[in-house]
Amino acid sequence: MIRFALTLAVLLSASLPARAAVDIKEVTSPGGLSAWLVEEHSIPFTALEIRFKGGASLDADGKRGAINLMTGLIEEGAADMDAQAFAKARESLAASYEFNVYDDSLAISARFLTENRDKAIALLRAALIEPRFDTDAIERVRAQVLSGIASDTTDPGHIASSTFDALAFGDHPYGADRAGTAESVAALTRDDMLDAHARLLTRDRLVIGAVGDITPDELGTLLDTLLGDLPATSAISVPEVDFALSEGVTVVDFDTPQSIAYFGHYSGLKNDDPDFFAAYVVNEIFGGNGLDSRLTVEVREKRGLTYGIGSFLVALDQTEMILGQAATANERMAETIDVVRDQWRHISETGVTQDELDTAITYLTGAYPLRFDGNARIAGILVGMQMDDLGIDYIATRNDRIRAVTLDDANRVAKRLYRPEDLHFVVVGKPVGLDASN
Amino acid sequence: MLRPLAFVLPLAAAVPATAAEITNFTLDNGLQVVVLEDHRAPVVVQTLWYKVGSADEPRGKSGIAHYLEHLMFKGTEKFGNGVFSDVVAANGGTDNAFTSQDYTGYIQRVASDRLDLIMEMEADRMTGLILTEELVAPELDVVLEERNQRTENNPGALFGEQRTAAQYLNHPYAIPIIGWKHEVSALTLDDALDFYPLHYAPNNAVLVISGDADPDEVRALAEEFYAPIPANPAVGERDRVDEPPQTAARRLTFEDPRVAQPYVVRTYLAPERDAGAQEDAAALTMLAEVLGGSAATSVLGQKLQFETQTAVYASAFYSGQSLDDTTFGLIIVPSEGVSLAEAEDALDATVAEFIETGVDPEQLDRIKLQLRASQIYAEDNIGGLARRYGEGLTSGLTIADIEAWPDVLQAVTGEQIVEAARNVLDRKQSVTGWLKAPDAMPAAAEEVSQ
């Protein structure tokens, strides 16, 4: 592959909405649940996206990994079915349910055929409302989680990001892996699973998007069946957090031929910040994935130092960051970091050019409608918009707001966004000639 | 209580053949063109597939097919260095490329009113690439970093290279797609310039356009941009050496201090899908589903993860899409306290028991039902549809084979699946690999300094 896709759990670009031609209806169920729907009747299935706000950050003190393990158990037995009976029932309906837990949300992605929609929803309801958390299922999934944690401890990319998070966020949930540690996961009990479920799966945390072969009335009825019996609220909130990392280089010694660098600093740029669009455009120029960014040109194309480098705006519920990632041979990591630092300083001091700005705006506004092909993709965008509190009419104005970014805006925001005096690198590997500093 | 079988029949009867509208024609210069229509969104995907992959490289030049894939983004007389991706991006689109053992593919995704532009540019670089030392040298470093990232930094990938090399004594599938490091490091501009014209020609390519495209418009654009490129008579049938019969089981142990979770992989030489004869591959595809499809209901998952708890993960894998002989694989990741030898024995015992017991007909019905539904879900992804046709047509299949495949899978019986297992799961035709950390050595210690 020519292009390496950099991914983060919460990418701002992934939650930006799209095309004007999409007709979103706001549906309120008879029981009062709210959802956004795009009807698309040409293929006989529906994609349903559900989010529970709060995610793994709702772990109780000392119970890191409880929500992750609970999520892994949702499909492992429900109502009168054990794990195997549940799997057979799901396969017999040819439905698919996916459960993924992130820092700030639990994501459920369901796909089901129109043909047997009611049965597919009844089965998913059992998983969400009546999970069994059988002891044998807990032990089996716990072993899988522990195996994953063991593998993560020797994955240089994982070591880099988790070291950065630990240094930045300390004891806050953001500072520890969502999966927990071998010790914390080993200590989890069935009661912890019940508690994790009660903390997170409540109606006030719900965000819902649906796309496909279903009418608003049908969706309303479906949602009450599926989610109406959840408790209204759990009244638990995620603590605030301070970003504790300052300028410097942290080296994690690890014997592997290619070093990985994970870098960045606090940004303070929330999704609803008046400078948000300018920051989004400027970072596209600096380290975005779509265009040949400054980082790609300087680090990859001119010097051949890396296969992939990029930077991202990250807006979590409790913090905002600008982050980047690059991988290069141990002998060349020091040079790579020098180039990144120079570029960080350069854009902060001199901003971008009108030409770069025009190109980025053309790209971002042109790419906008392309996100809207496929029921599953659109359903994901619908929940993303709601998670960010963007209005249902946002789609129609989004490109205009991108186009409204002026060179003055961009350069003012570049100075605000890129702060070389705060830039911290975590490097995992055996980098040559790179001194750790703090 | 849900009763699985009750739902099988109604659904089976109701699933229509909803495949995207397909149009297929060939230009005078030999370029095959396939159009897959889906007008739900104003988005179109162009994919161009060359019938050349890593298994077609000259000896000693491993990695040249993949390196050339990178160099294809440099420039032509009409569109200068780096312009290709810039123009795609300036129009809001995205592009990428991929190299396999059997094909090299290029993909762009744009608004449907920009199709003419990307067709012009893709046609232009089929024969118009201009390469210089200054352009190719840094890109070789990029490729070496790609190899570092994918392979050198990943003990599982290094293990896979050793297993694959052990699987093929003679056939070029033994060589990694990205190339052996020492050979990639030595690739030159001349190597690229020699390889390019031999394989990049209309009579060695397949164009697949999917999404919001009108077949008549695609035909007109293909005539305008692709038809003027002359066929290259030097391009012949792919002529690869055959693998000799394997007559002795092969074993290897790969040790790396970075391995925190050891596991066992066993692969067997296996037939691939052939034009007009996909039945054996279909039986193997179903065998992989029956043995390893889903943890809770597959033979290996039920026995090894649920019943005996020997494994945290156990599965089977097979992909029949390959020009030459491929492999059928088994994997087991042992539970804490279970040795690799015990895990391997348990895996073998489970497979042997399955061959004696046969296929659970209810499980087979559920698998077939899910395969039918997956055809409906696949309609939601125009890029995926393009890949299905592009990969198939460059791996020795015809459009008729690709369209028949779902029915061939549905026709597989339990007896044929067991028969396939008896034929293919022969230890004499296998490679067994253990991946582990060196004995008496803790997993790589890390140490933080600031």
What digits encode the pLDDT tens for the residues B221-256?
999 999 999 999 999 888 899 999 999 999 999 999
Closest listed residue to residue A159, CA positions, set A408, A167, A65: A167
Q: Which residues in chain B touch residue A86, judged by CB atoms under 8 angstroms apart?
A: 296
Alpha helices in B315-446 (DSSP H): 340-357, 361-378, 382-393, 399-410, 414-424
Whether A234 is covered by a domain: the verdict is: no
Q: Which residues in chain B touch residue A306, judged by CB atoms under 8 angstroms apart?
A: 142, 145
Closest listed residue to residue B203, CA positions, set B50, B393, B398, B54: B50
Asked if B97 and A436 come within 8 Å (Cβ–Cβ), the reply is no
Boundary of a domain, candidates A197, A227, A257:
A227
Asked if A327 and B14 come within 8 Å (Cβ–Cβ), the reply is no
Give SS3 for B15.
coil
Q: The tokens of A262 are what?
A: 């994970």
> A363 vs chain B: nearest CA distance in angstroms?
4
- Mean pLDDT of all residues in B162-178: 97
Cα(A31)–Cα(B373) distance, integer angstroms: 31
- Mean pLDDT of all residues in B20-45: 92
Query: Quick one: pLDDT band at residue B17, thresholds 50, 70, 90?
Result: very low
Percent of chain B with pLDDT over 70: 93
Whether A237 is covered by a domain: the verdict is: no
Same domain for A290 and A223: no
Asked if B149 and A302 come within 8 Å (Cβ–Cβ), the reply is no
Q: Which residues in chain A touch residue B255, judged by CB atoms under 8 angstroms apart?
A: none
Asked if B376 and A44 come within 8 Å (Cβ–Cβ), the reply is yes
Which of A154, A256, A304 has the CB atom closest to B260's CB atom? A154
Asked if A307 and B149 come within 8 Å (Cβ–Cβ), the reply is yes
Boundary of a domain, candidates A164, A196, A227:
A227
> A107 vs chain B: nearest CA distance in angstroms?
20
Same domain for A131 and A69: yes
Query: Quick one: pLDDT band at residue B379, thresholds 50, 70, 90?
Result: confident
Question: Scanning every residue of chain A, which has its alpha carbon at the shortest distance from the alpha carbon of B336?
Answer: A143
Question: Scanning every residue of chain B, which has its alpha carbon at the shortest distance from the alpha carbon of A288?
Answer: B89
Summary mean pLDDT of chain A: 92
B266-to-B168, B170, B251, B341, B434 alpha-carbon distances in Å? 14, 19, 9, 13, 9
Task: Evaluate whether B121 touches B89 at the Cβ level (below 8 Å).
Answer: no
Query: Quick one: pLDDT band at residue B9, thresholds 50, 70, 90?
Result: very low
Closest listed residue to residue B434, CA positions, set B363, B312, B331, B301: B331
Give SS3 for B450.
coil
DSSP string, B26-52: E-TTS-EEEEEE--SSSEEEEEEEES-
Q: At what angle do helices A407-417 and A354-367 cross, to 10 degrees?
A: 90
Question: Scanning every residue of chain A, which has its alpha carbon at the shortest distance from the alpha carbon of B210?
Answer: A373
Beta pairing partners, B277: B274
Closest listed residue to residue A323, CA positions, set A307, A302, A344, A303: A344
User: How does strand B43-50 pair with strand B205-211?
Assistant: antiparallel
User: What is the domain extent for residue A49?
Assistant: 2-227
Asked if B373 and A113 come within 8 Å (Cβ–Cβ), the reply is yes
Asked if A307 and B5 come within 8 Å (Cβ–Cβ), the reply is no
CATH of the domain at A113: 3.30.830.10
Residue pLDDT, tens place only, A169-186: 999 999 999 999 999 999
- Mean pLDDT of all residues in B69-84: 91
Q: Tell me, what's the pLDDT at B4?
A: 31
Q: Which residues in chain A touch residue B134, judged by CB atoms under 8 angstroms apart?
A: none
DSSP string, B76-145: BSSS-TTHHHHHHHHTT-EEEEEE-SS-EEEEEEEEGGGHHHHHHHHHHHHH-B---HHHHHHHHHHHHH
Same domain for A292 and A377: yes
Residue B3 has pLDDT above 50, yes or no: no
Closest listed residue to residue B111, CA positions, set A167, A362, A238, A427: A362
Residue pLDDT, tens place only, A335-385: 999 999 999 999 999 999 999 999 999 889 888 888 887 889 899 999 999
Whether A257 is covered by a domain: the verdict is: yes
Q: Which residues in chain A touch residue B312, judged by CB atoms under 8 angstroms apart?
A: 143-144, 147
Which of B2, B148, B260 has the CB atom closest to A150's CB atom? B260
Residue that is written with structure tokens 């008496």 in the block:
B440
Which of B18, B89, B257 has the CB atom closest to A255's CB atom? B257
For B337, counting Cβ atoms within 10 Å of its Cβ (0-12 exposed, 13-18 middle, 19+ buried), the class is: exposed
Residue B308 has pLDDT above 80, yes or no: yes
Same domain for A257 and A216: no
Q: Tell me, what's the pLDDT at A96?
A: 93
Same domain for A305 and A185: no
Question: Scanning every residue of chain A, which has its alpha carbon at the shortest distance from the alpha carbon of B45?
Answer: A370
Asked if B145 and A307 come within 8 Å (Cβ–Cβ), the reply is yes
Tell me whether residue B356 is one of the annotated catalytic residues. no
Which of B14, B70, B297 has the CB atom closest to A88's CB atom? B297
CB atoms within 10 A of CB A429: 26
> B246 vs chain A: nearest CA distance in angstroms?
33
Asked if B313 and A438 come within 8 Å (Cβ–Cβ), the reply is no
Q: Tell me, what's the pLDDT at B42?
A: 87
Tally the domains of chain A: 2
Whether A256 is covered by a domain: the verdict is: yes
Any idea of the CA torsion for A216, A221, A227, A228, to the nearest 10 degrees? 130
User: For chain B, how many residues are written?
Assistant: 450
Q: Which residues in chain A touch residue B42, judged by CB atoms under 8 angstroms apart?
A: 21, 369
Same domain for A223 and A253: no
A279-to-A92, A293, A308, A310, A408 alpha-carbon distances in Å? 48, 14, 22, 15, 12
Q: Tell me, what's the pLDDT at B20?
A: 67
Residue B12 has pLDDT above 80, yes or no: no
Which of B18, B369, B450 has the CB atom closest to A43's CB atom? B18
Which is catalytic among the residues B37, B57, B69, B272? B69
- Mean pLDDT of all residues in A244-258: 95
Whether A436 is covered by a domain: the verdict is: no
Task: Evaluate whether A240 touches B136 at the Cβ level (below 8 Å).
Answer: no
> A167 vs chain B: nearest CA distance in angstroms?
11
Same domain for A7 and A74: yes
Q: Tell me, what's the pLDDT at A370?
A: 85
Which of A140, A303, A370 has the CB atom closest to B111's CB atom? A370
Residue pLDDT, tens place only, A209-240: 999 999 999 999 999 999 999 999 998 888 89
> A240 vs chain B: nearest CA distance in angstroms?
26
Residue pLDDT, tens place only, A5-44: 443 333 333 333 333 468 899 999 999 999 999 999 988 9
Sign of the CA dihedral with B338 first, then B344, B345, and B351 last: positive
Residue A4 has pLDDT above 90, yes or no: no
Residue pLDDT, tens place only, B384-434: 889 999 999 999 999 999 999 999 999 999 999 999 999 999 999 999 999
Task: Evaluate whether A161 touches A428 at the Cβ level (below 8 Å).
Answer: no
Q: Which residues in chain A touch residue B15, judged by CB atoms under 8 angstroms apart?
A: 115
Q: Which residues in chain A touch residue B295, judged by CB atoms under 8 angstroms apart?
A: 87
CA triple A353-A357-A360, angle to 5 deg: 140
Summary mean pLDDT of chain B: 91
Question: Scanning every residue of chain B, which has its alpha carbon at the shortest distance from the alpha carbon of A78?
Answer: B1
Taking chain A, what is the end-to-end CA distance rounded to the nearest angstrom?
Answer: 37
The dihedrals phi and psi of A214, each to the nearest 5 degrees, come to -155, 145
Whether A281 is covered by a domain: the verdict is: yes
Query: Quick one: pLDDT band at residue B446, thresholds 50, 70, 90?
Result: low
Q: Tell me, what's the pLDDT at A438?
A: 54
Q: Tell me, what's the pLDDT at B14?
A: 36
Same domain for A162 and A39: yes
Residue pLDDT, tens place only, B314-356: 999 999 999 999 999 999 999 999 999 999 999 999 999 999 9
Q: Which residues in chain B touch residue A425, judged by CB atoms under 8 angstroms apart?
A: none
Residue pLDDT, tens place only, B192-217: 999 999 999 999 999 999 999 999 99
Whether A29 is covered by a domain: the verdict is: yes
Query: Quick one: pLDDT band at residue B447, thresholds 50, 70, 90?
Result: low
Asked if A253 and B153 come within 8 Å (Cβ–Cβ), the reply is no
Same domain for A70 and A213: yes
Residue pLDDT, tens place only, A380-427: 999 999 998 888 988 888 899 999 999 999 999 999 999 999 999 999
Closest listed residue to residue A382, CA positions, set A107, A44, A116, A67: A107
What ipTM did this prediction achieve? 0.84
Same domain for A353 and A207: no
Q: Tell me, what's the pLDDT at A125?
A: 98
Higher pLDDT, B20 or A64: A64
Percent of chain A with pLDDT over 90: 83
Closest listed residue to residue A285, CA positions, set A355, A345, A366: A355
Question: Scanning every residue of chain B, which has its alpha carbon at the shortest distance from the alpha carbon of A93?
Answer: B7
Residue B439 has pLDDT above 50, yes or no: yes
Q: Tell me, what's the pLDDT at B239?
A: 84
Same domain for A321 and A211: no
Asked if B11 and A42 come within 8 Å (Cβ–Cβ), the reply is no
Which of B145, B257, B448 has the CB atom closest to A328's CB atom? B145
Q: Tell me, what's the pLDDT at A225?
A: 97
Residue contacts between A and B (CB atoms, under 8 Å): 243
Whether A233 is covered by a domain: the verdict is: no
Same domain for A125 and A68: yes
Residue B442 has pLDDT above 70, yes or no: no
Q: Which residues in chain B touch residue A302, judged by CB atoms under 8 angstroms apart?
A: 138
Sign of the CA dihedral with B89 first, then B93, B94, and B95 last: negative
Residue B302 has pLDDT above 80, yes or no: yes
> B217 vs chain A: nearest CA distance in angstroms?
20
Question: Scanning every residue of chain A, which has its alpha carbon at the shortest distance from the alpha carbon of B70?
Answer: A2
Task: Evaluate whether B404 touches B282 at the Cβ level (below 8 Å).
Answer: no
